[in-house]
Amino acid sequence: MVEQSMSTIEDRTSVELFAGGGGLAMAVAKAGFRPLLFNEFNKRACETLRANKADPCAPGETPPIPERGQPAPLVEGDVAQIDFDYLKGRVDVLAGGPPCQPFSLGGVAKGDGDSRNGFPHMFRAIRQMEPKVVICENVRGLLRPSFMPYFNYIKRELSLPFEERGHGSTWQQHNEVLEHMLESVTVDRHERYDVRHYPVNAADYGVPQIRNRVIMIAFRQDLGVDWDRFEKLIEPKFSEAALHEAMRSGAYWERHPEIPKDVRARVMEDVPAQPLTLTDNERRQPWRTLRDAIKGVDGPPLPPVEKLDRTEYHLGGFTDHIGWPDARIYPGHTPNVLDRPAKTVKAGVHGVPGGESVMLLDDGTHRYMTVRETARVMTFPDDWVLAGPRGEKMRQLGNAVPVLLGQAFASAVATVLDEAEAAK
């Protein structure tokens, strides 16, 4: 799928469940982990993974263990049907974003009572694989007061995944058992995980998008990982305050000399005239904006979209850079602006959401963002192939983990694993 970094002191491995369109899988691979397995249920997302060189397995077949450079096996379908015993002791990182609809404001929000809840499958995979680290990404809705008791239960389950919930037992009953064990029972350090969670905004990690999520990290306790070191490595390196300072100093406008003066003046109306005293945390790089994404931070600019008639052509050689007509804006359905990070890319329940995929142009007109522009907002590389019609491609992106956000955490995991093992 993507070329893995060779920065780690040994060959690191990973497994990705609920892989979707591949955002977190790419991030983990870029951090140096060799993927041993992908699993995904959605038909279009599976097509995307296959288009990016994942190797589909025959139904009922035990996937092979790929060597570095070989494509990762892809098991399509229900994760409940996969036996992970063949991977026991082989996996450094188990990663995944369990389906978020049970906890999302945009879904029905049934939580534990929702059949789409993917966390029980993550816990079974942990019991069978015994990975060194688990990385889970999910919606910030998990931290809502109404779900906080259940979220704390998830963390306790992740701490003691081998203490299974009994058949017919409620999560509240199981939670009481876990609480007692964590407080007063000695558990084999190989079967216990230290768990922490981090509310994050992807914009603080160089993603040109406001995207609030929660990331859970679990290190197996016998590894002796340095948590202080890990948390230092995942400190955000971008800020809104730094973006405002770049606009006040002129550095942002120098990067975008094409911006009309009247647009610049209008943007500056919303920038604080007098900077507050910046803390060390705010002395970061500027948040990246939608304009930065389209112009290309680390690559070539995307050409302007002039035709909005769904013509199947690829501007400037970029795939999925196709104009789309009939964009509307109205109260509650407001567009993205170019000189801020984009709004959260959402998957949508009944198709592509409106305001999150519309942008306001310098001349005052507006249009839908192309799939390729949206992929850049998610920090997907331009050569990443997305399968299906436009709505399905946008849904895959809305469900994904931005690559730069995932890579920041996966790279920190790789570093502290290396350091912990070198210290032994």
Distance between CA atoms of 223 and 261, rounded to whole angstroms?
A: 56
DSSP letter (8 states) at residue 208: S
Instruction: List all residues 6 or more positions away from 79 whose beta carbon is below 8 Å from its beta carbon.
Output: 17, 18, 39, 41, 118, 121, 125
Backbone angles phi, psi at 123, to 5 degrees: -65, -40
β-pair type (238-239, 33-40): unpaired
- The Cα-based distances of 361 to 234, 252, 338, 366 in angstroms read 34, 18, 7, 6
Strand partners, 333: 330
Q: Which residue reads 């998610």 in tokens?
A: 378
Give the residue numbers annotated as catalytic, written as ranges: 100
Task: Report whether 395 contacts 99 (CB < 8 A).
Answer: no
Nearest residue to 292 (alpha-carbon basis) of 238, 258, 340, 235: 340
β-pair type (12-17, 33-40): parallel
